[in-house]
Chains A and B, each alone.
Chain A
Amino acid sequence: MQIDGTLRAAAMCIAAESLAITKVALFILLIACINFMNLSTARSEQRAKEIGIRKVAGASKGLLIGQFITEAFLTSCIAAAFALLIVQLVLPAFNTLINTHLSIVYNSIYFWMYALAFIVFTGLLAGSYPAFYLSSFRPVSIFKKQFKRTNATISPRKILVVLQFTFAVILIISTIVIRSQVVYTQDRDKGYSNNNLVQVNFAGDINKNYALIKQDLINLGIASSVTKTMTDIVRGGYHSWGLRWPNEIPKDTVTTITIYSADADLIKTTGMHLVEGRDIDINKYSGDSFSVLLNESAVKTMGLKNPVGQIIKNPFDNINWLIIGIVKDYIQGSPYNNIPPTVIYGPGAWFNMMYIKFNPASSTANSLAKAEQVFKKYNPSYPFDYKFVDQQYAQQFDSGQRTKKMAGLFAALAIFISCLGLFGLSASVAESRIKEIGVRKILGASVVSITKLLSFDFIKLVIVSIVIATPAAWYAMNRWLQDYAYRINIGWGIFVIAGLLTIVIALITVSFQAIKAAIANPVNNLRTE
């Protein structure tokens, strides 16, 4: 049941993840399509003459639209071939990165149908706007050189660039938020110490020979401390309700409390922090079978003042449990969740596993080898099976790490493709303004002032993108964070960093072309034909 539930949750998680990935991938495809649209319309000045001549020669608008869309299809087909090759090459690296086993199913008809559909879709998406734009030129104005670049405040090209960068900035902000969230949780105080701590599940004779095993482990100097518990301390105990405590209110009877039982030396072995009272010690106090430890959350939930010495009751088995100590909250279950109120019973109940804190004085390999001997001796029919608690704890971050890596990859791709477009666009703008730049230089403009002039138009668009992306990303990431009880607050610093990062990257991209245009000798560009 438990395993089945976990598997189903994992499967749902992966399904949600792949849906999110698909969405982001579509956005990145859109960014690339925008590049195609912008660059083909920006190059239109060079193609204007061809279009004019074709029109004069009798080509209809429909025919020209067909021609341009076909060109886009061809580009899309070639791109698909390259994409397939690249995917084949980087798939192993990608699989290692996110720890999966993806492969291309070449023999599936569906794969090829999807691929074809995508090629057509991409071709249409990227090719339609340029096709309509280019085919609408009027031959007379082309030949009269009335062909002018528009300098409108809002043009389709500017809107597309803003759209591109908005996506890129959203992805950058998301990456920073995801990263901060994962790092923040990794840095969270666990409340116990899990290094050199090994968990051994009871199998065969371990339960029966527990006392002997413990004695040997300690006497041989392998372990500094040993304890046994009912459940995994990383995952947490079972959840129950109905415990009764002093001064409870009626709804408290249905408050869920996490419960598990432990033997002596729990605190010593796991390195939990005792806030008040003492550890369970059945060897010293025989009554400790019915003693309990509470964590701070439990004390808070129960509203107990001076909890040590008070009694809580379990109405089902009618046992009075004496509170003997309070431990500091420690992380159980997902480190992203709140710490549940927990009651740790004394050794009155049953046990399923033991925890061994290896002696820090000797190496882990050495301790393991020696411990194996001990277990072989007392439990000869089973192999020595153990888990490191710190590794188990780290596994809780697997999905977070994967999300972090993917988001980083996507953000890098988005900003790279956007800048690629910006690079081409700035080159074409610099070219179309080459005469103006020459004149300005002769009138005394410095390289810096021309670089500014050319770059600022683009940077303005990037700033608009940041302004649009900020609230959108804030909303999306806030929703994402709602899934985590232990979460960061999205501070304005994240937006400042993302914004500055984007501006700097865009500036480097644009200024490359701008500087190139600005340092060119004006005489060469002003020659009268």
Chain B
Amino acid sequence: MIKLEKIFKWVNSGGNRVFLLKDINLHVEEGEFISIMGPSGSGKSTLLNVMGMLDEASEGTYQFLDQNVFSLKEKQRAQLYKQYIGFVFQAYHLIDELTVYENIETPLIYQNIKSAERQAIVGDMLDRFNIVGKKDLFPAQLSGGQQQLVGIARALVAKPKLLLADEPTGNLNSEQGEKIMELFTKINKEDGVTIIQVTHSEKNAAYGKRIIHLLDGRVEKK
């Protein structure tokens, strides 16, 4: 599904090249559940952003579903990630002015799905995540765990093949975190959604079938 080859990424800071990613080679098959670990500044989020097509690498090739991502035009790339990738963030990043229902609905609006159909899909999602009773609440009225639940529901509502999660449990207590991880496992097993998560916690990383360790922008060989 994902083939990263010889990925380098750097930024220029005062005439010096600062490398964020160095020679990353990574293959991800469909249906995998991968955890990326590493200390702060090791390039975890950058790698995730590159895979999510939110950021470009300076060098290397990236194949996503047999398409060469870096040679695509901005519009085509947006089309690709809109269709196949869902994002989950540490800070949830729900839209404060919209209700739970509207937050989950947003990606469908951007995929030009008809109103009636949207209603059915969002209704399904609310059911699955047991948040039907909260659909008219605003994010500020929810606990962190609940907000992250909405965030995941939103990421999955457009039926992506790949879920990218940047420290999804970072703002949660361990009990809430565990629930989210169990949910991820379930999604991965039952729906076959490929999951790549960045995490600090060994315990949460263990939910993944494969763990990748990053250090100074490089994959550490075990």
A binding-site residues for B, Cβ under 8 Å: 148, 151, 435-436, 438-440, 442-446, 449, 521-523, 526, 528
Q: Is the CB of B97 within 8 A of A436?
A: yes
A440 with B54: in contact, given A445-B110, A449-B110 (CB under 8 Å)? Answer: no
- Residue of chain A at shortest CB distance from B93: A439
- Which residues of chain B have C-beta atoms less than 8 A from A521's C-beta? 54-55
Q: Is the CB of B49 within 8 A of A523?
A: yes
A523 with B54: in contact, given A442-B87, A443-B154, A445-B110 (CB under 8 Å)? Answer: yes
- Which residues of chain B have C-beta atoms less than 8 A from A151's C-beta? 97
Q: Is the CB of A526 within 8 A of B89?
A: yes
Q: Is the CB of B93 within 8 A of A526?
A: yes
- Residue of chain A at shortest CB distance from B81: A444
Check: B107 CB closer than 8 A to any chain A CB. yes
**What would be 25 A-B contacts, judged by CB atoms less than 8 Å apart?**
A435-B93, A436-B95, A436-B97, A438-B93, A439-B93, A439-B94, A439-B95, A440-B106, A442-B52, A442-B54, A442-B87, A442-B93, A443-B107, A444-B78, A444-B82, A444-B107, A444-B111, A444-B158, A445-B110, A446-B110, A523-B49, A526-B89, A526-B91, A528-B91, A528-B170
Q: Is the CB of B90 within 8 A of A528?
A: yes
Check: B96 CB closer than 8 A to any chain A CB. yes
SS of B interface (majority): loop
* Shortest CB distance A48–B (Å): 17
Query: CA separation between A435 and B94, bound complex, in Å?
Result: 9
- Residue of chain A at shortest CB distance from B91: A528
* 10 extra A-B contacts, CB within 8 A, seeds A148-B96, A444-B82, A523-B49: A151-B97, A436-B95, A436-B96, A436-B97, A438-B93, A440-B106, A444-B107, A444-B110, A445-B110, A521-B55
Q: CB-CB contacts of B94-127 with A at 8 A, as 1s and 0s?
A: 1111000000001100110000000000000000
B binding-site residues for A, Cβ under 8 Å: 49, 52, 54-55, 78, 81-82, 87, 89-91, 93-97, 106-107, 110-111, 154, 158, 170
Query: CA separation between A528 and B48, bound complex, in Å?
Result: 14
* Shortest CB distance B33–A (Å): 22
Query: CA separation between A396 and B17, bound complex, in Å?
Result: 74
Query: CA separation between A445 and B79, bound complex, in Å?
Result: 10
Q: Is the CB of B95 within 8 A of A440?
A: yes
Query: CA separation between A442 and B91, bound complex, in Å?
Result: 14
Query: CA separation between A446 and B106, bound complex, in Å?
Result: 12
Query: CA separation between A440 and B95, bound complex, in Å?
Result: 8
* Shortest CB distance A528–B (Å): 5
- Which residues of chain A have C-beta atoms less than 8 A from B94's C-beta? 439
Query: CA separation between A438 and B55, bound complex, in Å?
Result: 13
* Shortest CB distance A60–B (Å): 31
Query: CA separation between A436 and B90, bound complex, in Å?
Result: 15
Query: CA separation between A444 and B81, bound complex, in Å?
Result: 8
- Which residues of chain B have C-beta atoms less than 8 A from A445's C-beta? 110
- Which residues of chain B have C-beta atoms less than 8 A from A435's C-beta? 93
- Which residues of chain A have C-beta atoms less than 8 A from B81's C-beta? 444
- Residue of chain A at shortest CB distance from B155: A443
Query: CA separation between A151 and B81, bound complex, in Å?
Result: 31
- Residue of chain A at shortest CB distance from B112: A444
- Which residues of chain A have C-beta atoms less than 8 A from B55's C-beta? 521, 523
- Which residues of chain B have C-beta atoms less than 8 A from A522's C-beta? 54
* Shortest CB distance B41–A (Å): 13
- Residue of chain A at shortest CB distance from B107: A443
- Which residues of chain A have C-beta atoms less than 8 A from B110's C-beta? 440, 443-446, 449
Query: CA separation between A449 and B112, bound complex, in Å?
Result: 12
Query: CA separation between A148 and B139, bound complex, in Å?
Result: 14
- Residue of chain B at shortest CB distance from A437: B95
Query: CA separation between A40 and B148, bound complex, in Å?
Result: 36
Query: CA separation between A521 and B46, bound complex, in Å?
Result: 13
- Residue of chain A at shortest CB distance from B54: A523
- Which residues of chain B have C-beta atoms less than 8 A from A148's C-beta? 96
- Residue of chain A at shortest CB distance from B164: A442
- Residue of chain A at shortest CB distance from B87: A442
Query: CA separation between A442 and B160, bound complex, in Å?
Result: 13
- Most chain B beta carbons < 10 A, residue from A443, A521, A522: A443
- Which residues of chain A have C-beta atoms less than 8 A from B89's C-beta? 526, 528
Q: Is the CB of A443 within 8 A of B54?
A: no
Q: Is the CB of A443 within 8 A of B106?
A: yes
Query: CA separation between A440 and B55, bound complex, in Å?
Result: 16
- Which residues of chain B have C-beta atoms less than 8 A from A440's C-beta? 95, 106, 110
- Which residues of chain B have C-beta atoms less than 8 A from A528's C-beta? 89-91, 170
- Which residues of chain B have C-beta atoms less than 8 A from A444's C-beta? 78, 81-82, 107, 110-111, 158
- Which residues of chain A have C-beta atoms less than 8 A from B52's C-beta? 442
Query: CA separation between A442 and B90, bound complex, in Å?
Result: 15
Query: CA separation between A439 and B139, bound complex, in Å?
Result: 14
- Which residues of chain A have C-beta atoms less than 8 A from B106's C-beta? 440, 443
- Residue of chain A at shortest CB distance from B86: A443
- Which residues of chain A have C-beta atoms less than 8 A from B54's C-beta? 442, 521-523
Query: CA separation between A436 and B94, bound complex, in Å?
Result: 8
* Shortest CB distance A119–B (Å): 41
Query: CA separation between A304 and B96, bound complex, in Å?
Result: 81
Query: CA separation between A151 and B97, bound complex, in Å?
Result: 8
- Most chain A beta carbons < 10 A, residue from B78, B94, B170: B78
* Shortest CB distance A447–B (Å): 9
- Which residues of chain A have C-beta atoms less than 8 A from B87's C-beta? 442-443
- Most chain B beta carbons < 10 A, residue from A151, A440, A442, A523: A442
* Shortest CB distance A396–B (Å): 60
Query: CA separation between A436 and B93, bound complex, in Å?
Result: 8
Q: Is the CB of B78 within 8 A of A446?
A: yes
- Which residues of chain A have C-beta atoms less than 8 A from B95's C-beta? 436, 439-440
